Structure 1
Amino acid sequence: MLDAIPRTWERMGAGWTNLVTDTPSIDIDGIPAKRDARLDMFRGLALVMIFINHVPGTVYENFTSRNFGFSDAAEAFVFMSGLAAGLAYSPRFRTGSFWLATAKVWARSRHLYYIHLTITLLSLAIFAAAALWFGQHDVLTKNNIPRLFSEPLATIIGIPLLTHQLGYLNILPLYITLLLATPLFLWVGLRRPLLLLGASVALWAIAGQFRLNLPNYPTAGGWFFNPLSWQLLFVTGLLCGAAMKQGKRFFPRTKLLFGLTLAWVVVALLWVKLPMFGSAGMAMLGAMNKAGLPFYLTWFDKTFLALPRLSHALALFYVVASITAIRQFASANWTAPFRLLGRQGLPVFAFGTVLSMVLQAIKAPLENDPLVDGLLLAAGLGLQLALAWVLTRTAEMTRARAAAAIA
């Protein structure tokens, strides 16, 4: 379906292509330009992959990024969230009132909190409806729902405290928490960026070494996305975004660094695609672990963002940001659907999450069928694209009317 959309792009004129290219910004190389298409395109692509991965059991999962390296769309989402936060909020912390700048960031965090509670409630309603009206009681045994029946009062307390998170609804609590800490990150990072990065690395290592995490309640254990670990990815994106806003690069572009990061991306690809190569790599990591290196350096743990995942994600982002041709690729007509999704990232993510829960309920009694699964996923992506278009077009019309009123 997405492949068919670009063929109509030129005919739709300002209604589509212009919608995703008109907002001024500073691009990653420090040149004042129109809105950087790469951020929107890759954010939209990450949203598509998250949606596909959130409807498990389809053949299309095999084509998402997690099958081509150690990291997946979650790492991209968190990094780009930090990047966007650096672009959006750093000017306020450079020149304005610290409290007013903080209030702006915390207002966004509060908005995300309301959205998380809403999609959690909707998800529970979807699974309840599947069980009540269609006899699909198995859906109530998954996604961390059973605790609602075994400990209803404690679970009802845990949901608004963010200490009880449904399966596939874990990333917004992480984002909310990181935004609450963003004023501190920016206050330090705009004055001593290397100090912030060093402290972030230290916190990541301490969290892994001592298995520190925010607690769950009423279940045992900690958050699936541990904020003490994942903050490193967010902070790195934040520092990059703050530098971009001033027309700079936080990480310099050098041939050596590009060569090293590209080599690591290739090694990760071979690792996951060639069994002999992967077996040798696993044996090496096993030997390192036996030699005394901790798990967060020698494994692929997602909760603590283990080093292989973290380093692969950062290497991939550096490679993508360093290839000049990516800019033209991201600006092409056929990538406009991804850019449109990326520009409306939050509503698309929330809507896509609810749709993925609907599709999980629909698929529960069905056998895996590539055709049926493809139609369901295509319908879901089409609805998300329609939402993004409506929201973007409405915003454009509102701005145009306001400009006309002023004139």
Structure 2
Amino acid sequence: MTSIADRIAGPPLAGAADVIVDTPATAPAAPPLPVISAPPSGERELRLDLFRGLALWLIFIDHLPPNILTWLTIRNYGFSDATEIFIFISGYTAAFVYGRAMREAGFVIATARILRRVWQIYVAHVFLFTIFLAEISYVATSFENPLYSEEMGIMDFLKQPDVTIVQALLLRFRPVNMDVLPLYIVLMLFLPLILWLMKWKADVTLALSVLLYAITWEYDLYLSAYPNGFWAFNPFAWQLLFVFGAWCAQGGAKRMSRILSSPVTLWISFAYLFAAFCVTLTWYVPQLSHLMPRRLEQWMYPISKTDLDVLRFAHFLALAAVTVRFLPKDWPGLKSPWLRPLILCGQHSLEIFCLGVFLAFAGHFLLAEVSGGAGMHFVISISGILIMSAAAWLFSWYKYSADKNSSRKRDAGGNADMAGGGS
């Protein structure tokens, strides 16, 4: 007999899923999808892990002061950056995991599981906020440099800690580099509704998402931040990328297979990526700015990251189309030991993201206090990536050991332990 609590807890969903959600290590067989297909039973979709890990590395590098490795991140060669990768994979894998739960256990149980995961992410965000605040305050006080507090956006906390903490709990106050988790929490809160609508009509759900995106731009919808301003990532706009990922997971990618496999789509993607590169080149080489037609500049600028400008969304789509075309899910390189650190980081994205926030500030501090030279920039960047990779390996080893011990207990006792419940 299975209790309601056991159904909410559900079977363990181990492995990689979204930015924060974990996909099941064993997934049901599904027909291949052209964007990112559901893995056959017993296999992982390593491309998800690979690109999520890559996004984590790129975000860490972009959070450091400009350095040599910064020029290797995609934001310098087009309109989009690692954030788009993050949110798309989040929507895809969240829909894959919890969409299956909704089909098997029903709307109420799936919603309970989603809300439980939202609570876990929220707790992680609060802990990250508390420790990050303590790190900044300690450095600013110890080295008698109030600029750290100002640069990291915590001056209001030092002035009014009581009010600021309440606003932080409401997700309205966030130090620098802590904007991704609040966005993801809000998007996940609406996942039950998204999945319910997609179970009815997936294409209509995507159309409604596009409509909300258009209304956001037309009427300037946003969420306010404390003490002033607005969210760095507007959920009303970024939901489009999240819902698009969910739509792909729910069969949309399969329906796009002919479009994605078309040579015309490939050449349009290449042309758009080249055009975006030429535009971004004028940002770093002012001598080329006169080559940009004035009317084109007036039409396209500013390219808003806060509201997910359509040019950024299109740039991500072009990158995704090219990637899927040249990186099949059975690519042998996915088994390469050289890519293993990236994949491991992607499989433990919540922990690695939080670690990356701490490491980025530590790197900022070292560059300010010790040396700001190119050599030091390079050492700090590589050291941060190595630490993130080592932590991911440690998490994987611990999880493997825990799963192995749990399996032995089940084999010895014949039933699941009391903590997980059994049937």
Does the alignment reach a TM-score above 0.5?
Answer: yes
CA distance in 2, matches of 1:88, 1:207: 29
RMSD, matched Cα: 2.3
1:77–1:187 Cα change, 3 Å: same
CA deviations 1:187-210 (Å, max 9, x no partner) are: 111221111111111111111121
Tell me the residue number matched to 2:261.
Answer: 254
Q: Classify the secondary structure of the residue corresponding to 2:254.
A: coil
1:392: how far off?
Answer: 1.0
Query: Retained in 2: the 8 A contact 1:298–1:306?
Result: no
**Partner residue, 1:240:** 248
Match of 2:316 in 1: 313
- Residue 249 of structure 1 aligns to a residue whose secondary structure is helix
Gaps of 5+ in 2: 1-23, 412-423
Aligned AA (2:130): L
Task: Report what 1:197 is aligned to.
Answer: 206
Q: Is the 8 A contact 1:185 1:196 kept in 2?
A: yes
Indicate the structure whose relative CO is greater, using CA pairs within 8 Å and at least 6 residues apart.
Answer: 1
Q: CA deviation at 1:281?
A: 4.8
Relative to structure 2, which stretch is displaced further, 339-348 or 57-66? Answer: 57-66
2:185 aligned residue: 176
Moved more, 306-315 or 369-378: 369-378
Paired residue for 1:376? Answer: 380
Contact 2:341 2:393 in 1 (8 A): no
C-alpha offsets along residues 2-42 of structure 1, whole Å, 9 cap, x if unaligned? xxxxxxxxxxxxxxxxxxxx944456445626211111111
Report deviation, 1:282.
Answer: 6.0
Q: Secondary structure at the match of 1:32?
A: coil
For residue 406 of structure 1, the aligned residue among 397, 402, 410 is: 410
In structure 1, the residue corresponding to 2:58 is in which secondary structure?
helix
- 1:45-66 deviations in whole A, cap 9, x for unaligned? 1100101111123232121110
Query: Which deviations, in whole Å up to 9, do the C-alpha atoms of 1:345-388 show, x marking residues without a partner?
Result: 11111111122122222222344212212222222222211111
Alignment of 1:275-286 (within 5 A): 280-281=291-292, 283-286=294-297
- Specify the SS of the correspondent of 1:333: coil
Cα 1:365–1:231 shift into 2, 3 Å: same
| 2:229 aligned with 1:224 | no
Letter aligned with residue 219 of structure 2: F
Contact 2:202 2:250 in 1 (8 A): no
State percent identity of aligned pairs.
29
Query: Structure 2 CA distance, aligned partners of 1:141 and 1:282?
Result: 38
Contact map agreement 1:299 1:308 (CA 8 A) in 2: no
Please give the alpha-carbon distance, in whole angstroms, between the structure 2 residues aligned to 1:299 and 1:194: 30
Aligned residues: 374
Distance 1:313 1:284, change over 3 A: farther
Counterpart of 1:229, as a letter, is: A
CA contact (8 A) 1:239 1:250 kept: no
TM-score, reference length from structure 1: 0.85
Match 1:347 to one of 351, 354, 369: 351
Structure 2 contact 55–82 (Cα < 8 Å) conserved: yes
Measured after TM superposition, the shift of residue 249 of structure 1 is 2.1
1:114 deviates by 1.0
Structure 1 counterpart of 2:296, which letter? L
Work out which of the residue numbers 155, 159, 178 in structure 1 matches 2:164: 155
Change (3 A) 1:125 1:214: same
Q: Which amino acid aligns with 2:404?
A: A
Q: Does the Cα contact within 8 Å between 2:79 and 2:312 map onto a contact in 1?
A: yes
For residues 301-327 of structure 1, give each alpha carbon's deviation from its aligned partner in whole angstroms, at most 9, with x where no partner exists.
111111111111122112212324573
Report the residue type matching 1:302 in the other structure: K
**1:352-363 superposed matches below 5 A:** 352-363=356-367
Contact 2:367–2:376 under 8 Å retained in 1 = no
Does the Cα contact within 8 Å between 2:125 and 2:181 map onto a contact in 1?
yes
Aligned-partner Cα distance in 2 for 1:121–1:282: 48
Pick closer, same or farther for the CA change 1:400–1:283 going to 2, 3 Å: same
| In the alignment, structure 1 residue 134 sits paired with structure 2 residue 143 | yes
Q: How far apart, CA to CA, are the structure 1 residues paired with 2:326 and 2:159? A: 53
With over 3 angstroms needed to count, the CA separation of the structure-2 counterparts of 1:324 and 1:131, relative to structure 1, is closer
- Relative to structure 1, is the Cα distance of residues 286 and 156 closer, same or farther in structure 2, using a 3 angstrom cutoff? same
Q: 3-state DSSP class of the match of 1:364? A: helix
Looking at structure 2, the residues matched to 257 and 405 of structure 1 have their Cα atoms a distance apart, in angstroms, of 52
**Is the Cα contact below 8 Å between 1:38 and 1:331 reproduced in 2?**
no
Distance 1:226 1:106 in 2: 21
Matched residue, 2:130: 121
Query: Equivalents in 1 of 2:333, 2:77: separation in Å?
Result: 20
Give yes or no for the alignment of 1:335 onto 2:339: yes
- Could you tell me which runs of 5 or more consecutive residues in structure 1 were left unpaired when the two chains were aligned: 1-21, 289-296
Distance verdict in 2 for CA 1:375–1:325, change over 3 Å? same
- 1:59 has 2:68 as partner: yes
Q: Secondary structure at the match of 1:153?
A: helix
1:211, distance to aligned residue in structure 2 (A)? 1.2
TM-superposition CA deviations, 1:70-113 (whole Å, max 9, x none): 00111111111111212211111223221110111111111111
Q: Superposed, which structure 2 residues align to 1:263-282 within 5 Å?
A: 263-273=271-281, 280-281=291-292
The residue number in structure 1 matching 2:21 is none
The CA deviation at 1:250 is: 4.8
Q: Which amino acid aligns with 2:256?
A: F
Contact persistence 1:299–1:307 (CA under 8 A): no
